[in-house]
Amino acid sequence: MKKALLLIISLISTSLVAQMDVYFRVMHNWDGQPFAVNSPAVTQDGDNLQLDRLQYYISGIELHHDGGQTTALPTTYILADARTTTQVNLGNHAITTLDSISFSIGVDQNANHADPAGYNASHPLAPKSPSMHWGWSAGYRFVAVEGGAGSNLSNNMEIHALGDQNYFSQTVVTNGADMGGYLVIQLDAEYLNSFSGISVNNGLINHGETGAAVKLMENFRDSVFTPSQATVNPVGLDEYTVSALELKPNPTSQGYSLLTLEEMMTGELTITDLTGKCIYSTSVENQGEVLVYIENTGMYIVTVQTDSSVSTSKLQVN
């Protein structure tokens, strides 16, 4: 029997005491310095290069913690832009000791070939400008880098890497930083390393799934991300008091549970089972409360994602 879900929306705002907020932060670097557009550098192969665009997707996030436990976040998507620090609330999780974090650059195969127009405008996978979507067949641009190369930096350089076969997973060993009530997983990203083995001095245009696009994706997997050596600063108060969610009753014996948000939110609500299969997805438009009904028993993950935060909670249906 197909799983049936009923969502009844009402506009109510309440507060929630969370377990532990987990933040994912990427420090964008270029040749050992904070990333800045049009900043010249020399690649490992001796080519002159500067960038004026560097955007990419992060998905397939898994938190490995407490000696063998894994918390998967299959519906969390991040669109990183090197011009600004990437910091995303991954939700509230029961984690005592973080061991490592796994993630992929790009978009998983199922979402990669979905219609971007089906997402709320604030969702990372919704249509963007400049575009991060190549078309339904090819899917999303996993990484988009553009700039100038050569002795006078006037030769056009563009790599838009895509393709399901280039969706690689990587794991970074890190304990994160316990900030006294919340956890910050801070990574350094050195993007100059992503051009190792790619000749750009004479200019390069590659929009596709082969050649320099593959090498770029392999470098992003192997050579870009490391545990951060920079000071882990606290999350700002305005960022820390982000919207959160709770489900009551939880566990529920009748299939009904009331999801409440800390403030009126606009974003995407999804429900997945523990295999990562999306059971239901819908837009949340300036809403504060959702009554969820799930007929089948089991454990589910309820997620609300906006353009600035991701809030999650497990729901047990008995």
Q: What is the pLDDT of residues 7-28, one digit of tens each?
A: 332 322 323 333 789 999 999 9
Q: Are residues 193 and 261 in the same domain?
A: no
Residue 30 in this model has a pLDDT that exceeds 60: yes
Last residue of a domain, one of 227, 262, 278: 227
Answer whether 0.85 is exceeded by the pTM. Answer: no
Q: Are residues 182 and 54 in the same domain?
A: yes
Residue 2 burial class via C-beta count within 10 angstroms: exposed 0-12, middle 13-18, buried 19 and up: exposed
Take residue 227 and report the two structure tokens written for it: 């545990």
Q: Are residues 177 and 291 in the same domain?
A: no
Last residue of a domain, one of 167, 199, 227: 227
Phi, psi of 116 (to 5 degrees): -60, -30
pLDDT of amino acid 197? 98
Q: Are residues 218 and 251 in the same domain?
A: no
Rg (CA), the chain: 20
Lowest mean pLDDT among 151-160, 215-224, 272-281: 272-281
Q: Are residues 212 and 252 in the same domain?
A: no
CATH of the domain at 297: 2.60.40.10
Instruction: Using pLDDT thresholds of 50, 70 and 90, give the confidence band for residue 297.
Output: confident
Q: What is the pLDDT of residues 113-132, one digit of tens each?
A: 999 999 988 899 999 999 99
Q: Which domain holds residue 116?
A: 20-227
Domain total in the chain: 2
Phi-psi region of 189 (alpha: psi -120 to 50; beta: other; left: phi over 0): beta
Rounded Cα distance between 125 and 48, Å, is 33
